[in-house]
A and B are shown apart, each in its own frame.
Chain A
Amino acid sequence: MEAYLYSLATFAALNVILAVGLNLISGFCGQISLGHAAFYGAGAYAAAVLSVAGWPFALSCLFGALIAGLLGLVVGLASLRVREDFLAITTMGVGFLFLGFVRKQAWLGGEFGVSNIPSPMSSGAMTVLAMGIALAVIALSLHLNRSWMGRVFAAVAQDDDAAQTLGFDVARYKLAAFMIGTASAGVAGALYAHITQLIVPDAFGFITSITILAMVVIGGIGSTWGVVAGAILLTLMPELFRFVNEYKLLVYGGLLIVVMRLSPDGLAGIVHALAQRRRG
């Protein structure tokens, strides 16, 4: 049974990395992104292509992060021009564009994706690596939150016009958030490619983006530990919900509605509310 738990833990770790990264963009900086899977995919493809060509695993992963970060920079720059309401749909567009482009490129495997990606280490070792990186990303996020950068992010999320008049170069901070968030998605993608050994375009579609966003919102947008909890919960859901097997998507949809209705600040919101009540 251990192998099973390890593999669950591995995917939970990947989802934590994705959710914490998205939280940087959406939670800290207020930029709702519906296309996070594009950066996940960009990292996966970049790393996979290098690995298949014979490059060492570590370098492939770094390359994945780099490409995803660069893509994040480009999208971030584009997002600056666009009004807040439009941003969500623009990011959705980025997601579809990424997918629509990648599936047509023969050098990226087209519809067949990239296959025969070498497995660089045992599954157990991969689990440890994934969890390690997840912890590092969490630490980074917490540090950023408490640092001056985090304070600026919070100001920007609240009211970026006000932040601008206070003299902050809002653009720079938004871009920084985008790049860090997307680079971490790239690392997650690189790991994913080496675990599954075959990546296809459909693994990085709109549904994946929504799932990651759901983890963030259910966990509590803006709260690092909240989104960690959200990521773990949603990873375990298919396993936990095997007893409602046939109805699991119905339950999932219902869960999203109920959580938004009862606790829009997600799990973090519930925890805070309980803590407040205890303080009296």
Chain B
Amino acid sequence: MRVRVIRRAAIGAIAALALAGSALAQEPIRIGFHVPLTGFAAGDGNSALLGAELAVEQINAEGGVLDRPLELVVYDDQAAAEQAVPIANRLLGEGVEAVISGSYSAPTRAAAGVFQKESIPYISAYAIHPDITRAGDHVFRTSFMGEVQGRAGAKLVGDIMDKQRVVLITLNNDFGQSLAQGFKEAADQFGIEIVNEYSYGLKDRQFGSIVASVKRDDPEAIYASGYFFTAGPLVSQLRAGGVQAPIIGQEGYDTQQFIDIAASAAEGVIITTSLDRDTEDEAMRAFIEQFEEKAGFPADMVAATTNTAVHVMADAIRRAGEVDPQKIRDALAATEDLPTATGHITFNELGEIRKTVQAQVVRDGAYHRYAVIDDPELLAPPSQ
């Protein structure tokens, strides 16, 4: 903990010096940022903040935006809508003209309403609820919609891996269920037969009854949604229970903690995600390396998409030419093929991203490239 603080302070000091070097008597451009730093969601909040801070450092090291340094105005919302709404209003009162959410669905949707009303451009970094972008044309999202990723999973399992009899293990929250929805939607297309579906809650860590059921089903593959703290135990218990079938996860698994928890059981697990550890893409490579240096642990998807969100916003401000909310919004909507830590970003009419999906596999205790799923029709998010 302390080492991380010192490291953060050191990088902050270096960034500050870099700042002093560039055109910096200039007033900073302030981007609002609300994130759960305390409470049950503090883990994701911490990752999101680090990803965002790294983006600011990266941007300022290259001279900032419009010759001005970028600055985050950070507030802790504890992932609660009743805190996010006053924070949103507070940011407005402080004259912030662009905001990013590093928080969960309910606070993001609540804040989105406030920002849409006031015509402030707003990017949701990783909150998953489908109706967030439906709050209006000022709201954008830089992470995959659950159903899009689910469809990619179906292609991965049915087509690329050629497995037909599949069992679904679904996390009972909006993320898990939208993944399952997408997977089921595309299942027929790829010849997948869903033998059974089980579900579990966010707080569950013991999956004995599900393991017993999966053994009885004897599937060819298991499509299991979760986050590292559920997927880690789940995968371990499946393997310990004698289940050999390949397990396919999603970006919720995409953290080093998952591999640390599941240890040997993690080997061979395949996930759909946006980070490719074996990438040649400069932006992605740079993020992966610099994040590990800044944070002291390997990058996770929450950090990556939040980093992307900040870069996307900065890029839009550049193209807008000035810090004008309407111009920034229009520039955001026009974002096309922008290279970021999580791939090339293009928004559709609704403000959702169109992007390829990476598939990674755990080999020798780390993630590596497995496949790339690039099917624009399959991966097209809804447009209204």
Contact = CB atoms under 8 A, between A and B. Distances in A.
Interface string B70-102: 000001101011110110111011000000000
A198 B105 CA distance: 9
B113 A249 contact: no
Interface stretch (A6-14, A68-76, A136-144): A6-14
B82 A196 contact: yes
B129 A198 contact: yes
A11 B82 contact: yes
Nearest to B128: A112
A112 B174 contact: yes
A152 interface: no
B93 A249 contact: no
Contacts of A238: 76, 78, 83
A167 to B, nearest CB: 45
A6 B177 contact: no
- For chain B, the bracket of interface size reads 35 or more
B139 to A, nearest CB: 12
Contact of B85 (A1, A11, A113, A249): A11
A238 B36 CA distance: 12
A119 interface: yes
A215 interface: no
B134 A198 contact: no
Contacts of B85: 7, 10-11, 195-196
A4 interface: yes
A110 interface: yes
Given A198-B81, A198-B110, A246 B129 contact: no
B172 A111 contact: yes
B71 to A, nearest CB: 17
A200 B113 CA distance: 16
Interface string B256-286: 0000000000000000000000000000000
If over half of A's interface residues share one DSSP class (helix, strand or loop), that class is named, otherwise mixed; here it is helix
Nearest to B82: A11
Given A111-B173, A112-B130, A202-B106, A239 B38 contact: no
B321 interface: no
Interface residues of A, number: 35
Given A198-B110, A198-B131, A200-B106, A4 B90 contact: yes
B21 interface: no
A158 interface: no
Contacts of B174: 111-113, 200
Contacts of A249: 38-39
Interface in A199-215: 199-200, 202-203
A166 interface: no
Nearest to B108: A198
A2 interface: yes
Interface in A232-268: 238-239, 242, 245-246, 248-249
B93 A198 contact: no
Given A202-B106, A245-B37, A245-B76, A196 B86 contact: no
A3 B92 contact: yes
B155 interface: no
Contacts of A195: 85, 110
Contacts of B38: 245-246, 248-249
Residue of A1, A7, A113 with most chain B CB atoms under a 10 A cut-off: A7
B129 A4 contact: no
B109 interface: yes
A45 to B, nearest CB: 14
Contacts of A14: 82
27 contacts: A2-B93, A3-B89, A3-B92, A3-B93, A4-B86, A4-B90, A4-B93, A7-B86, A14-B82, A112-B178, A115-B109, A115-B129, A116-B131, A116-B134, A192-B82, A195-B85, A196-B85, A196-B113, A198-B81, A198-B106, A203-B80, A203-B81, A238-B83, A246-B37, A246-B38, A248-B38, A249-B38
- Minimum-distance CB pairs A-B, first 8: A198-B109, A196-B110, A4-B89, A115-B131, A3-B89, A1-B93, A4-B90, A196-B81
